[in-house]
A and B are shown apart, each in its own frame.
Chain A
Amino acid sequence: MNLSIFLPVAGNTVNLLLPIGLGGIVGFLSGLLGVGGGFLMTPLLIMIGIPATVAAASDSNQIVAASASGAYAHARAGSLDFKMGLLLLIGGVFGGTAGVFVIRLLRALGEADLLIKLTYVVMLGGIGSYMFWESIGALRGRRRDSQKRTRPSLYARVVQSLPLTMEFPRSKVRISALVPIVLGALVGILAAVMGVGGGFIMVPVMVYLLRMPMHVVVGTSLFQILFTCIDVTIMQAAINHTVDIVLALLLLLGSVIGAQLGARAGRRVRGEQLKVIMSVIILSVMIAMVADLISPPEVLVGYKAGH
């Protein structure tokens, strides 16, 4: 039985089951951890022969489906903070736009590639390690640092002094509306510079800087990712013509179901356990990136984007 299908925009053929399976696995992680999964899916698609530009754009398209499916499940379960998500999104839009200019400036200064990749490694290493040790400590019953402290940190004092304080009942926090907007903008800048959706930065930001419960973080992150990926898909389709709808459909067939199963599985796992899983994935991506940076490539040339 011929299970192959031709991808009209990517220009090559794949076995039908391969993108459906990949979509299922990454969708599960997406629903479980609140990440888009682009940092995992794009390299996997490149490995099966999809051109890098088509892989990234089509993955954004399928993330729309997976995050819509996951966000719907979380909204139904009451673990989506729409108000917080909206403020983060507003910041993210401004940050993303600013990030495009930052990347242009970096490229003009030269060696932007090295700077971007090192930023990636440092960010992933820092976030992943902190999340891992903190969650392991919590799982072992150690008290959190914040509970031990008698005096609030500088960050906490600055945040408390800001105006426009709001109540976020779903997240069980009372904080200035400026905090999620500014943090959303910072994540947006980093995401644009690093060329990723930013879910794996946004999740730790919500957990550690906004002090939101992990289950609400996952749903709210998916809500934000949904809008970011809608924007990216339309822009990629209109400007670069790199969205392969056939590939995206196959990926989303797996991912929408995976996202639902992931969201259900997440409700059975403790928040600290979710953080351990997330930190292990972040650290694995960091290690793969370091290996890619220091190991000699098989071929010393690659196609320029847009090929």
Chain B
Amino acid sequence: MRPKLTLLGLLSTLAVARILYAQEPAADLRLEPTELPLGLFYSGTDVHVSGRMPDAEGAVLVIRGVEGTVELKIKGKVGGLFWLNVGELKFERIPACYYALASGPLRALGAPEALAEAGVGYDALAAVSLGAADSDKERLFAELVKLKEKEGLFGIKENALTLEPAEGGGARFSIAVPMPSSIQEGSYCFRLVAFHGGKGKLLAERVLRVQEAGAAAWIRSLSRNHGFLYGIMAVGTALAAGLLTGFLFHLGSKGGH
């Protein structure tokens, strides 16, 4: 009796799944790899992102690093001639990195409000970080974006995601996302947002874990947790290298005479 019931349950689950699948292909997002070790010889790598989604007018793959506080110095003109630091500013909830890879121009996907609501574009970051409108802070936020773009940690690329018709309906895509060499340890969230009728909808979300490994992790941990010992070690190594080279050169010069 029990095997029969199990078989019946399995068949009905498959039938329901088939009906659902026929109605709307489920969204899927895959990362390869899902964990990234930052060793001494890490020089940046590509994360291959692939997936499928129901038919939509467009989609954006958003990649965000862990949020944190960024403390900045503001540069301004002093005495009408010199460019110097004139103040300090703090921005809260700024992601360590932010990339938006879109299937088309962002303006064509939705209005600025709809994009921001879906977490797409720099306005979305500004909305979270700035809160109430403040023109001076907004101007400086734009400067922060410029700084992060210069470091390769922020970027918006339109027409970067190619959607192709998928077997059984919907669309599929595959893209290599370059993770820069300046990437920090932490969790990086990959989100697939589809746009339909000017509105964005989060379809799927995956996490890439970046973790320091091997000698790099050991060195960083020692420098953070045992700073004095690390300093002595650094000085000892430098002294030994300097004196040894001096000694070897002296021997070399004696041999040469």
Contacts and interface: CB of A to CB of B under 8 A. Distances in A.
Q: Do A and B come from one complex?
A: yes
Majority SS of interface residues in chain B?
Answer: helix
Contacts of B228: 234, 237-238
A4 B43 contact: yes
Interface string A225-237: 0000010011111
B220 A233 contact: no
A66 B242 contact: yes
Nearest to B250: A76
A88 interface: no
Contact of A6 (B78, B140, B216, B253): B216
Contact of A2 (B41, B232, B242): B41
A241 B224 contact: yes
B67 to A, nearest CB: 15
Interface string B225-236: 001101111110
A13 B44 contact: yes
A300 B245 contact: no
Interface string A38-66: 00000000000100000000000110111
A109 interface: no
A6 B73 contact: no
Interface in A245-282: 245-246, 248-249, 252-253, 256-257, 259-260, 264
B223 A301 contact: no
Contacts of A66: 242
Contacts of A298: 146, 150
Interface stretch (B13-21, B83-91, B161-169): B83-91
A109 B140 CA distance: 26
B241 interface: yes
B216 to A, nearest CB: 4
A238 B239 CA distance: 18
Interface in B152-183: 181-182
A295 interface: yes
Given A8-B223, A235-B231, A117 B82 contact: yes
B181 A307 contact: no
Chain A interface size, under 10 / 10 to 19 / 20 to 34 / 35 or more? 35 or more
B247 A72 contact: yes
Nearest to B150: A299
Contacts of A296: 83
Interface string B16-46: 0000000000000000000000111111100
B73 A65 contact: no
Contacts of B227: 237-239, 241
A64 B238 contact: yes
B134 interface: no
Contact of A8 (B79, B217, B232): B217
A285 to B, nearest CB: 17
A178 B43 CA distance: 54
Given A13-B42, A13-B182, A257-B245, A245 B219 contact: yes
A73 interface: yes
Contact of B250 (A6, A73, A117): A73
B111 interface: no
B82 A300 contact: no
A2 B239 CA distance: 29
A243 B224 CA distance: 10
A155 interface: no
Contacts of A177: none
A169 interface: no
Interface in A205-242: 230, 233-239, 241
A142 interface: no
A64 B143 contact: no
Given A69-B246, A260-B245, A299 B147 contact: yes
B81 interface: yes
A295 B88 CA distance: 21
Given A62-B238, A64-B235, 16 more contacts: A4-B42, A4-B181, A6-B41, A9-B219, A9-B223, A12-B182, A13-B42, A68-B238, A230-B235, A239-B227, A293-B83, A296-B83, A298-B150, A302-B147, A303-B73, A304-B88
9 contacts: A13-B181, A61-B235, A69-B246, A69-B249, A238-B227, A238-B228, A293-B81, A293-B84, A302-B72
